[in-house]
Amino acid sequence: MVEPSTFSRPDEKKKFVRDKFSAISGRYDLLNSLLSLQIDRYWRWKTTRLLRQFPTGPVLDLCAGTLPLSLELTRQARERRVLAVDFCEDMLKNGKKALPSDNRKDRIFPV
């Protein structure tokens, strides 16, 4: 295993991290739930509850990963649009594969 402190340039570390997320992108949601003891579900629930006070307007989902928060936001607010941003393209690709066939796929914009 490569120690992060051994990188001579910042872009090497970024590539290392991106490659690690790419490698687990197909299993990320399962791993996240298991390793966090499902706390990830709680914080998504809490986030969507907090955003209810702002029922309209777009939301920026930073570090969107496989889009679980984006999906939950658009499920709870039928007109909500979400700009989903992540530095790992493979995470977003896996999230796009899981988008439902309803109109939510037209309201989530992965970048």
Q: For residue 89, what are the CA distances in angstroms to 16, 21, 47, 63, 111?
A: 14, 9, 24, 11, 8
Q: For residue 9, what are the CA distances in angstroms to 20, 103, 109?
A: 17, 43, 32
Give me the domain span that covers residue 83: 8-110
Q: Which pLDDT score is estimated for 66?
A: 96
- Can you tell me whether residue 84 is helix, strand or coil? strand
Q: Which pLDDT score is estimated for 5?
A: 67
Is residue 3, in this structure, part of any structural domain at all? Answer: no
Report d(CA 44, CA 85) in Å as an integer: 16
Is residue 1, in this structure, part of any structural domain at all? Answer: no
Report d(CA 50, CA 88) in Å as an integer: 27
Number of domains comprising the chain: 1
- Whether the per-residue pLDDT at 79 is higher than 90: the answer is no
Q: Which position has the higher pLDDT, 61 or 101?
A: 61
CATH (domain of 19): 3.40.50.150
- Whether the per-residue pLDDT at 27 is higher than 90: the answer is yes
- Whether the per-residue pLDDT at 9 is higher than 70: the answer is yes
pLDDT in tens, 30-76: 999 999 999 999 999 999 999 988 888 899 999 999 999 999 999 88
Are 76 and 48 contacting, i.e. CB atoms less than 8 angstroms apart? yes
Q: Which pLDDT score is estimated for 100?
A: 87
Q: Which pLDDT score is estimated for 2?
A: 58
